Amino acid sequence: MVTEVLSAAEPGAVGRAVELLGRGELVAFPTDTVYGVGADAFRPEAVARLFGAKLRPADKPIALLIAPEYDLRQLARDVPPEAEALARRFWPGGLTLVLQRAPAIPDAVTVGGPTVGVRVPDHPVALAVIRGFGAPVAATSATLSGQSSPLAAEDVVRQLAGRIPLVIDGGRCPGGVESTVLDLTTPVPTIRRKGAVSK
């Protein structure tokens, strides 16, 4: 597979990403934290392709990226008031909320678990891709599993060239650190990963 690299400023770059996602392919793009690689969250074979491209362990769930206007209740059930308050304060931004998954979420995303991570990225390219696609994107850092998270398109190409069809080059990610993961399904909210949003 030849990996195409398109500048985010190039006309048609976002459209090309949306087209590939719609075909069940993988696309890497910048976010406010690090570069992510995404797939159609509701197509299990696409999510499986994401696991394979990254050499990701089969027991590690993948979070969903959505646009601000997307209804969180389509992805999660029993959404607590704390989630709504945190979303108002930190979305778009570097906070992933772990919630009880809705029945519609495929097992491929959650690896069969009862929860799902959701985030709204604060980056124009990521949001343009998600909005253009019109559905949640299952996304994780655009790197081989266990490697340092990529901050620039060349970091993505260095590791995933030949493994994914498209990288959108939107320059260096402004955040430089992965999102904080906050689990709201525990009796007391639990930070599962320290990141862009401090305790």
**33 located within any domain:** yes
CA 93 to chain centre: 12
In sequence order, the 6+-apart residues with CB closer than 8 A to the CB of 84 are none
Q: How many domains does the chain have?
A: 1
The residue assigned the tokens 């990288």 is: 167
Cα 49 from Cα 34, distance rounded (Å): 20
CATH number at residue 23: 3.90.870.10
Its sign, for the CA torsion 9, 10, 11, 13, is negative
**198 located within any domain:** no
CA 21 to chain centre: 13
Structural domain harbouring 77: 4-193
**44 located within any domain:** yes
Helix boundaries (H) for 55-193:
81-90, 107-110, 124-133, 153-160
Mean pLDDT of 115-127: 98
**42 located within any domain:** yes
- Cα distance from N-terminal residue to C-terminal residue, the chain: 42
**47 located within any domain:** yes
Percent of the chain exceeding pLDDT 70 equals 100
- Tens-digit pLDDT profile for residues 35-80: 999 999 999 999 999 999 999 999 999 999 999 999 999 999 999 9
The pLDDT assigned to 143 comes to: 95
The residue assigned the tokens 């209740």 is: 73
